[in-house]
Copies of this chain bind each other. A is one copy, B any other.
Amino acid sequence: MASQREISNLNKAQILVTALPYIQKYAGKTIVIKYGGNAMVSDELKDAVMTDIVLLSLVGINVVLVHGGGPEINEMLHKIGKESKFINGLRYTDAETMDIVQMVLAGKVNKSLVQLLCNHGGKAIGLCGLDGCLITAMKQGGKEDLGYVGSISEVNVKIVNDVMKDGYIPVISTVANGEDGEVYNINADIAASRIASELGAEKLILMTDIAGLLRDKDDESTLIPVVQVSQVISLKRDGIISGGMIPKIDCCVEAVRRGVNRAHIIDGRIPHSILIEILSDEGIGTMFL
């Protein structure tokens, strides 16, 4: 592989030029990125993601960043000596935990991303589901009581559109205003999918720590680059979509069904995976349409 030094000015210009049709295609469109996994842990990857987002924003693409924050929440719970109670493998979120979740997501992870974008030359604003009544939730149903885990009852994207119109990159934590006045924690993939569809986004991109949907989960060379949402049912039946992939792919399917043009599961471990996905003719990961 060539080192960057060896790349001529002409080559550099030609590479910029190959991005042209993609910029033309996506200018003025909205792309919702669910940010999480390794790309949020490694400082280097984080830096690359921030750079990508600022660049996309500069060339006229509206980027909305929805983030999670599991590791930071765990770390904080650990610090206060809180032991988590698990029910069928799902963490029970009591009031104290919910407090920590809100603080860590909306106060730490969110605002630190805003700061990072700012320091990369971007103009960002940190929102959560409480701001401008963005996300309203109710207690999630089901057999087991999981405490303050919510399911979305309404998404009102007016505040997101308002701040985008003023040129800000919205960074969103997915804690929500309960219909009962409490705060609920919302799964970030699901929230990103709903926000994307309410915004009429062009794309939903879920950043993960896998290469994409693999026919053989142990062999990255079996990556399935494109999936029609109508094929998902048989891919599940055949066990190709299984385990932790199921909820993520359901979010993609849901987004496409609600009008998002394309949904992607991309490999967040690759530096600049967002830029490569959006501005080059080489897709990364699996695209749902």
**Which residues of A approach B to under 8 Å, CB–CB?**
1-2, 4, 6-21, 23-24, 27, 48, 51-52, 54-55, 58-60, 76, 79-81, 99, 102-108, 110-112, 114-115, 118-119, 121, 123-128, 130-133, 159, 162-163, 166, 168, 175, 177, 181, 183, 270-272, 275-276, 279-280, 282, 284
- 9 inter-chain pairs at a CB distance below 8 angstroms, sorted by A residue, are A9-B284, A17-B272, A58-B60, A59-B60, A106-B107, A106-B111, A107-B107, A115-B183, A126-B127
A15 in contact with B17 (CB, 8 Å): no
Please pick, from B118, B131, B270, the residue contacting A124 in the complex, using a CB distance under 8 A.
B131
Q: Give the Cβ gap from A48 to chain B, nearest Cβ, in Å.
A: 8
A131 in contact with B114 (CB, 8 Å): yes
Q: Give the Cβ gap from A272 to chain B, nearest Cβ, in Å.
A: 3
- CB-defined contacts of A106 to chain B, threshold 8 Å: 106-108, 110-111, 126
A115 in contact with B103 (CB, 8 Å): no
B271 in contact with A177 (CB, 8 Å): no
Please measure, in the bound complex, the distance between the C-alpha atom of A115 and the C-alpha atom of B59, giving whole angstroms: 24
Please measure, in the bound complex, the distance between the C-alpha atom of A166 and the C-alpha atom of B162, giving whole angstroms: 7
- CB-defined contacts of A76 to chain B, threshold 8 Å: 103
A128 in contact with B130 (CB, 8 Å): no
- CB-defined contacts of A21 to chain B, threshold 8 Å: 121
Please measure, in the bound complex, the distance between the C-alpha atom of A272 and the C-alpha atom of B17, giving whole angstroms: 9
Q: Give the Cβ gap from A66 to chain B, nearest Cβ, in Å.
A: 16
A11 in contact with B17 (CB, 8 Å): no
Q: Give the Cβ gap from A6 to chain B, nearest Cβ, in Å.
A: 5
Please measure, in the bound complex, the distance between the C-alpha atom of A92 and the C-alpha atom of B282, giving whole angstroms: 47
Q: A80-B80, A114-B130, A127-B125 are in contact. Are A8 and B1 (CB under 8 A)?
A: yes
Q: Give the Cβ gap from A231 to chain B, nearest Cβ, in Å.
A: 27
- CB-defined contacts of A131 to chain B, threshold 8 Å: 111, 114, 124-126
- Residue among A6, A17, A19, A115 with the most chain B CB within 10 A? A115
Using CB atoms, name the residue of chain B closest to A100.
Answer: B103
Please pick, from B4, B51, B104, the residue contacting A20 in the complex, using a CB distance under 8 A.
B51
Besides A16-B275, A21-B121, 7 other A-B contacts (C-beta < 8 A): A10-B276, A59-B60, A76-B103, A107-B110, A125-B159, A126-B126, A159-B168
Using CB atoms, name the residue of chain B closest to A55.
Answer: B20
Please measure, in the bound complex, the distance between the C-alpha atom of A38 and the C-alpha atom of B111, giving whole angstroms: 27
